[in-house]
Amino acid sequence: MSTNNRILIKLLVLFACLYIPKTDAQTISNNTLMGGTMIKETYYSTTTKANRNCYVYLPENYNPSKKYSIVYVLHGIGGTEDEWIINGSPKEIMDQLYKNKLVKPMILVFPNGRAMNPDTVPRDVYGAEAQAAFARFEFDVLNDLMPFIEKRYSVYGDRAHRAICGLSMGGGQALNFGLAHPDLFEYVGAFSPAPNTDVTKFKVENNKTSPLIYVLCGESDNLLFVSQNVNNYLTSKGIPHTYKTMPGNHEWSVWKEGLRSFVQMIFR
C-alpha cells in the first residue's frame, strides 16, 4: 500500500469518527443540558373539589436555592392546560430568549383556566356552564394554584415578581383577574383578549402602583374591537399601558409574539 493511500485511509477513518451519529442516550443527555424543562403537575383545588393539572416551565439550570419570578399563562376558550404546550412553543420561545440573554430568570405556569368538575372541555365551550367555569377560575388561581406553586417551587411569592397573561379568553381572564387584583400582580398581558373582558372589574388607578399592562392584537382579528375598547378605557382613565397591533388574525402567530414580547418587558 502506498504512503498516499495510507494517509487517505487515516483521513477517512478520522472523518468517520468525527461524524458518527450520537446514540439516543447521548442525545437525551445533551438535550437535558440544553434549555429549560417542562413539567406536568397536579394540585388539589378547593374551588372545584378535585385534582387539577398544569404545566410548569423551569428555566435552564433552575436552582431551588435561588428565588424566581413567576408568570401564569392562560389559554383560549376551547383549550386546556395542554393548549399552549402543543401549539404555542413556549419552551422554544423561552429557551431562545434565555440563550440570547433577553429575559430575566422566571418560571412559567400553564393551568387549565376552566375551573369545573369534572375537569373536561364541555360540549358547548360558549355555553353558560363553560363561561361560569372561566369566571370561577379566578378563585382557583388565587386560592389553590398560586399557593401550590409558591410552596412547591422557589419563587418570590410577592406582587413585584408575579405576572399573568393569556390569549383570547385567557387574555380576558388575565385582564379581569390581574387588574381586579393589582395588589397581587405587577404585570398583566393580554393577547387578542376576548369579549369576556370586563373593564368594570378593573381596579387600577393612574399612579405608581398600577401594573405594567400590555395588550396585543392582530389587525385582521374580528375581536380587535375588544382590545380597542380596553385601550380606550385605560387611556380615558390616564392609566399607563402598552397597546399594539400587528399583521394577523385570531391566531398563534400573534399569540406567540405576544408571549415573546411580554416576557421581555417584565421583571426588569
Contact 259, 166 (CB under 8 A): no
Residue 214 pLDDT greater than 70, yes or no: yes
Q: What is the pLDDT of residues 105-154, one digit of tens each?
A: 999 999 999 999 987 787 888 889 889 999 999 999 999 999 999 999 99
Q: Which pLDDT belongs to residue 121?
A: 84
**Residue owning grid cell 411569592:** 157
What percent of the chain has a predicted confidence (pLDDT) above 90? 80
**Residue owning grid cell 434549555:** 35
Q: What is the arithmetic mean of pLDDT over 39-55?
A: 97
**Residue owning grid cell 378547593:** 46
Residue 64 pLDDT greater than 90, yes or no: yes
Q: What is the arithmetic mean of pLDDT over 177-196?
A: 97
Of 52, 49, 259, the closest CA to residue 146 belongs to 52
**Long-range CB contacts (< 8 A, 24+ apart) of 38-44?**
38/85, 38/90, 38/91, 41/148, 41/152, 43/144, 43/145, 43/148, 44/144, 44/148
Distance (Å, whole) CA 166 – CA 77:
11
Q: What is the pLDDT of residues 15-43, one digit of tens each?
A: 333 333 333 323 223 334 479 999 999 99
Q: What is the pLDDT of residues 237-263, one digit of tens each?
A: 999 999 999 999 999 999 999 999 999
Q: Name the pLDDT band for 89 (thresholds 50, 70, 90).
A: very high
Q: Which pLDDT belongs to residue 119?
A: 78
CATH code: domain 37-265 is 3.40.50.1820
Q: Which pLDDT belongs to residue 115?
A: 95
Q: Which pLDDT belongs to residue 227?
A: 98
Q: Which pLDDT belongs to residue 101?
A: 95
Q: Which pLDDT belongs to residue 122?
A: 79
The angle, 0 to 180 degrees and rounded to 10, between the axes of the packed helices 252-265 and 90-99 is: 40
Residue 10 pLDDT greater than 60, yes or no: no
Of 213, 215, 211, the closest CA to residue 245 belongs to 215
Residue 206 pLDDT greater than 90, yes or no: no
Contact 160, 154 (CB under 8 A): no
Q: List, in order, residues 6 or more apart from 21 with CB less than 8 Å away.
A: none
Q: Which pLDDT belongs to residue 160?
A: 97
Residue 207, C-alpha cell as written in the block:
399612579
pTM of the predicted model as reported, rounded to 2 decimal places: 0.86
Q: Which pLDDT belongs to residue 201?
A: 94
Residue 200 pLDDT greater than 90, yes or no: yes
Residue 239, C-alpha cell as written in the block:
392609566
Distance (Å, whole) CA 117 – CA 136:
11
Distance (Å, whole) CA 130 – CA 77:
9
